[in-house]
């Protein structure tokens, strides 16, 4: 029988090792599924969301409390977005810890990393779209950080939020960034990333000549596993969204004085930027808010280029000796980010 | 194509069942939520959903109908939220939007209660400068007693107030801060004796139960605003005990009177029958009780109604006024507390400052009627003129009347 559209998106057969849960952690596939959920729920939210400062938070309240199953859809969008960050991070860790970034996958590693950064920005802009009292301080801090960049800071600030006062006029830019400016690149880069996975020989496993396990599974079996995985994730998301509502806070006030008061009351970054907020307490915002985070990003991006090339037989195996430096680097980065997040949370 | 069931088919069946169960749970959970009840008050035109949970609350007053005002214009809050915590998170003054910390936002506005004196809409200015709010007399008296000031004039209030058009000569009061005072007794006064003004939370105990701000007087029961204020509401602060100036503490009343005659005034006081039969608001006017917009030195300087206001003297009948203007404030007051059908052409008693005692009426035989504002009781009374009363024209304080007319207890 000729393959259906969905089957046709997959290679006819793949090595069994590439489809093992303990090898992939299902992170990449889960990320794609979460993105699909985010797309669908996001479009549904757009039917009610009103991107102007006076009505935005009220429209979020309308979605949450008044639209039939609106609260559920919003929770689904929220939890999918949070899980996407976690799953993306796991995906990145898996790729480094199994030396999967190595040639010929170096370019796709950069594509993936870019996707991760955009997903973080999507989470941040989505958080800002709540436009309630809790978002003002993080928006102000985040966008003021851009201004600290020499020469191009002001221009970047204008590109990000239009250059005005963040908490009174930044909403429309944040909305357009969220819906188009970041989502379109995610779609394009995401498709490219998936295409490159296949073009680069599928999920990284040792090359055929050094492979011990030469078993293969068919695309039918692969799709079955994907369907089952989607069911499991779907059920988990439904339950999570039923019991754990997405955060919401009182609407942003409209007078500057009241906005200022609201901003000072909620001086807490969203959880994925708590590590940066913690560093900002230490001094120069440009150093701690821009240079160090970007430095860390550049360091992670350079992993395939600056460290010794892992042995071919090590590619696709967990924690091989030949890429110890890369493992230590990503391990240290993860440890520091988690530690800073916990420190910020503790106070 | 396989026709035999495989492990995958079983797993898919189980997963489908679980997914169905999760969706059913979602449906059931959603159907448990109360159906939203919307209200779009004409004043704001902005739909709110407070009634979803609060549909059983009584209308707060005839002059604040929910259809017009809704809930949010007075109370604040998140009007679309159906989660109690979020919906209530931005309410002004908690359950009491008339608390003075938020009263301007809740009750103010030129068409509401912070309008002009000419429109008689300066209620907030009146109450904020009144002695019930400033507590200026007590503070001045204590500071004078313990040497912190050389006169008995009011210099401090609970909160700083300004009245640039003051007719009393007092144009401002500074905030009384007991911590800045040198004498320990004044500091103790600050700690122990500042629970009776309208800014303050009441003392603990049912006898002291009242709200703060406007609602201290006007809210006699849950979610009610009224001008029919019974003496029991006034008694939440008044007649509850005495201050002991030696220890600078409040000594609570220990008797538990069961009759109005014992409850109304403190046990040692003398009073006439009308003083305990009527309610405080039947005699004491709005400007006396709620202030007139000027800053006053103390209670004595704002209180002016006497027995003669209604009864006159041997030489003069009480002042009266025939209502000819349909916009007369008397009609507004009668509308707010509709105990009688006040009509154009009715002649009512007025005070020496021209305030209408709108619940009175001059009867054709020269006697007077009064309807109790809080009790709706009907009373008639006579003027002093033409009786055998032995009062002297310059002795009009109530204790002179009590010499003959005090009730035997």
Return all residues near A342 (Cβ < 8 A) that are at least 6 apart.
none
Average pLDDT of the residues in B69-98: 95
Which of A61, A239, A245, A254 to substitute to test the interface with B, most B CBs within 10 Å?
A: A61
Strand partners for B242: B251
Return all residues near A213 (Cβ < 8 A) that are at least 6 apart.
A15, A16, A17
**Among B80, B110, B78, CA closest to B92:** B78
Per-residue pLDDT tens over the stretch B30-74: 888 889 999 999 999 999 999 999 999 999 999 999 999 999 999
Residue boundaries of the structural domains of chain B: 123-255, 304-405
| pLDDT value of position B379 | 95
Per-residue pLDDT tens over the stretch A95-145: 999 999 998 899 999 999 999 999 999 999 999 999 999 998 899 999 999
Q: Is A251 on the interface with B (CB under 8 A)?
A: yes
Q: Is pLDDT at A264 greater than 90 in this prediction?
A: no
Per-residue pLDDT tens over the stretch B217-275: 999 998 999 999 999 999 998 888 888 888 888 888 888 777 777 777 666 678 888 88
| pLDDT value of position A262 | 73
Which of B25, B86, B90 to substitute to test the interface with A, most A CBs within 10 Å?
A: B86
Give Cα separations from A328 to A293, A307, B101 (angstroms).
Answer: 18, 11, 58
| pLDDT value of position A332 | 96
Per-residue pLDDT tens over the stretch A134-157: 998 899 999 999 999 999 999 999
What φ, ψ does residue A191 adopt, rounded to 5°?
A: -65, -40
**Distance, CA of B306 to CA of B402 (rounded, Å):** 12
| pLDDT value of position B206 | 87
| pLDDT value of position B399 | 87
Q: Which residues of A touch B79 (CB under 8 A)?
A: 58
Give chain B's end-to-end CA distance (angstroms, integer): 105
Q: Which residues of B touch A241 (CB under 8 A)?
A: 26
Return all residues near B173 (Cβ < 8 A) that are at least 6 apart.
B134, B136, B154, B155, B156, B157, B160, B161, B295
Return all residues near B389 (Cβ < 8 A) that are at least 6 apart.
B314, B404
More confident residue, B176 or B276: B176
* Farthest-apart Cα atoms in chain A, separation: 70
Nearest-neighbour CA in chain B from A228: distance (Å) = 7
| pLDDT value of position B268 | 67
Nearest-neighbour CA in chain B from A220: distance (Å) = 10
Reported ipTM: 0.85
**Among B206, B138, B221, CA closest to B176:** B138
Is B49 in Cβ contact with A66 (below 8 Å)?
yes
Which chain B residue has its CA at the smallest distance from A242's CA?
A: B26
Closest partner residue to B15 (CB to CB) among A62, A232, A249 is A232
Instruction: Confirm if B305 and B285 have CB atoms less than 8 A apart.
Output: yes
Nearest-neighbour CA in chain B from A222: distance (Å) = 11
**Distance, CA of B188 to CA of B176 (rounded, Å):** 13
Interface of A with B in 70-129 (CB under 8 A): 72
| pLDDT value of position A276 | 95
Q: Which residues of B touch A232 (CB under 8 A)?
A: 15
Q: Is A228 on the interface with B (CB under 8 A)?
A: yes
**Distance, CA of A101 to CA of A200 (rounded, Å):** 11
Q: How confident is the model at residue B118 (pLDDT cuts 50, 70, 90)?
A: confident
Nearest-neighbour CA in chain A from B39: distance (Å) = 13
Average pLDDT of the residues in B373-399: 90
Q: Is pLDDT at A19 greater than 80 in this prediction?
A: yes
Closest partner residue to A239 (CB to CB) among B22, B49, B79 is B22
**Distance, CA of B319 to CA of A148 (rounded, Å):** 76
| pLDDT value of position A168 | 85
Nearest-neighbour CA in chain A from B50: distance (Å) = 12
Domains of chain A in start order, with CATH, are 8-346 (1.20.810.10)
Closest partner residue to B15 (CB to CB) among A1, A69, A231 is A231
Is A228 in Cβ contact with B11 (below 8 Å)?
yes
SS3 B314: coil
| pLDDT value of position A281 | 92
**Mean pLDDT rounded to a whole number for chain A:** 92
Per-residue pLDDT tens over the stretch A281-311: 998 999 999 999 999 999 999 999 999 899 9
**Distance, CA of B253 to CA of B232 (rounded, Å):** 15
Nearest-neighbour CA in chain B from A199: distance (Å) = 29
| Element of type H or E holding B362 | strand B360-362
Q: Which residues of B touch A62 (CB under 8 A)?
A: 80
| pLDDT value of position B242 | 83
Which of B80, B88, B102 to substitute to test the interface with A, most A CBs within 10 Å?
A: B80
Per-residue pLDDT tens over the stretch B263-300: 776 666 788 888 889 999 999 999 999 999 999 999 98
Q: How confident is the model at residue B91 (pLDDT cuts 50, 70, 90)?
A: very high
Q: Which residues of B touch A235 (CB under 8 A)?
A: 15, 18-19, 22
When mean pLDDT is compared across A116-125, B144-153, B390-399, the lowest value belongs to: B390-399
**Distance, CA of B1 to CA of A135 (rounded, Å):** 54
Q: Is the peptide bond before A104 cis (omega within 30 degrees of 0)?
A: yes
Give Cα separations from B199 to A299, B101, B109, B187, B202 (angstroms).
Answer: 60, 8, 20, 19, 9
| pLDDT value of position A347 | 64
| pLDDT value of position B3 | 64
CB contact burial B311-328 (16+ within 10 A = b; e otherwise): bbbbeebbbbbebeeeeb
**Among B189, B374, B137, B361, CA closest to B264:** B374
**Strand A216-218 and strand B249-252: pairing?**
unpaired
- The 10 Å Cβ neighbour count of residue A116 is 19
| pLDDT value of position B30 | 87
């Amino acid at each position: 029988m000729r393959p259906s559209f969905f089957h046709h998106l997959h290679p006819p057969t793949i090595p069994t090792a590439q489809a093992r849960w303990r090898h992939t952690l299902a992170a990449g596939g889960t990320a794609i599924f979460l993105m699909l959920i985010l797309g669908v729920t996001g479009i549904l939210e757009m039917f009610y969301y009103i991107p102007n400062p006076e009505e935005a938070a009220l429209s979020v309240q309308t979605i949450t409390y008044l639209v039939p199953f609106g609260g559920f859809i919003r929770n689904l969008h929220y939890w999918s977005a949070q899980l996407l960050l976690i799953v993306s991070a796991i995906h990145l860790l898996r790729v480094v810890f199994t030396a999967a970034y190595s040639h010929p996958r170096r370019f796709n590693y950069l594509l993936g990393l870019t996707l991760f950064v955009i997903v973080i920005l999507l989470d941040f802009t989505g958080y800002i779209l709540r436009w309630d009292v809790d978002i003002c301080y993080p928006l102000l801090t985040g966008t003021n950080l851009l201004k600290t960049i020499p020469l191009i800071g002001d221009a970047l600030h204008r590109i990000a939020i239009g250059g005005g006062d963040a908490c009174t006029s930044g909403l429309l830019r944040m909305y357009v960034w969220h819906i188009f400016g970041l989502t379109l690149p995610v779609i394009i880069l995401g498709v490219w990333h998936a295409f490159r996975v296949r073009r680069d020989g599928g999920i990284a496993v040792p090359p055929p000549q050094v492979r011990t396990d030469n078993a293969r599974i068919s695309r039918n079996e692969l799709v079955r596993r994907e369907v089952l995985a989607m069911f499991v994730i779907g059920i988990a998301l439904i339950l999570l969204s039923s019991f754990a509502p997405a955060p919401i806070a009182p609407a942003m006030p409209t007078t500057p004085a009241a906005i200022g008061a609201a901003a000072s009351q909620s001086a807490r970054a969203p959880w994925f930027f708590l590590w940066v907020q913690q560093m900002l307490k230490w001094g120069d915002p440009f150093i701690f808010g821009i240079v160090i985070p970007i430095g860390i990003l550049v360091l992670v991006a350079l992993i395939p280029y600056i460290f010794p090339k892992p042995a071919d037989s090590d590619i696709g195996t967990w924690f091989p000796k030949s890429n110890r430096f890369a493992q230590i680097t990503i391990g240290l980065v993860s440890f520091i980010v988690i530690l800073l997040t916990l420190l910020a949370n503790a106070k | 194509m396989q026709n035999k069931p495989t492990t995958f088919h079983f797993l898919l069946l189980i997963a489908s069942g679980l997914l169905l169960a999760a969706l059913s749970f979602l449906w059931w959970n959603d159907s448990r939520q109360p159906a939203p009840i919307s209200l779009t008050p004409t004043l704001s035109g902005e739909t709110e959903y407070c009634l979803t949970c609060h549909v059983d609350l009584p209308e707060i007053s005839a002059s604040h109908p929910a259809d017009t005002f809704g809930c949010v214009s007075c109370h604040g809050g998140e009007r679309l939220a159906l989660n109690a915590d979020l919906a209530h998170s931005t309410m002004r003054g908690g359950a009491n939007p008339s608390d003075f910390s938020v009263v301007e936002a809740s009750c103010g506005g030129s068409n509401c209660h912070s309008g002009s004196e000419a429109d008689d809409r300066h209620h907030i200015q009146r109450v904020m400068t009144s002695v019930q709010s400033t507590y200026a007399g007590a503070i001045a008296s204590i500071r004078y007693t313990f040497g912190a000031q050389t006169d008995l004039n009011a210099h401090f209030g609970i909160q700083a107030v300004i009245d640039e058009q003051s007719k009393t000569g007092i144009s401002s009061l500074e905030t009384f801060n007991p911590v800045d005072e040198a004498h320990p007794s004044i500091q103790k006064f600050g700690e122990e004796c500042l629970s009776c003004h309208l800014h303050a939370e009441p003392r603990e105990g049912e006898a002291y139960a009242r709200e703060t701000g406007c609602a201290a007087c006007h809210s006699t029961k849950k979610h009610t605003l009224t001008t029919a204020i019974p003496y029991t509401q006034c008694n939440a602060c008044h007649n509850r005990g005495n201050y002991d100036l030696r220890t600078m503490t409040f000594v609570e009343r220990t008797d538990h009177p069961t009759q109005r005659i014992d409850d109304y005034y403190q046990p040692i006081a003398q009073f006439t029958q009308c003083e305990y039969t009527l309610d405080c608001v039947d005699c004491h006017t709005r400007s006396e009780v709620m202030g007139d917009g000027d800053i006053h030195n103390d209670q004595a300087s704002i209180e002016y109604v006497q027995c003669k206001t209604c009864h006159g003297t041997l030489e003069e009948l009480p002042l009266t006024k025939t209502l000819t203007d349909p916009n007369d404030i008397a009609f507004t007051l009668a509308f707010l507390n509709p105990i009688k059908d006040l009509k154009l052409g009715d002649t009512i008693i007025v005070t020496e400052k021209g305030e209408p005692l709108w619940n009175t009426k001059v009867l054709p035989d020269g006697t007077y009627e009064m309807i109790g504002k809080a009790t709706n009781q009907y009373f008639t009374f006579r003027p002093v003129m033409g009786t055998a009363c032995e009062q002297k024209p310059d002795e009009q304080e109530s204790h002179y009347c009590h010499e003959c007319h005090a009730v035997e207890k």
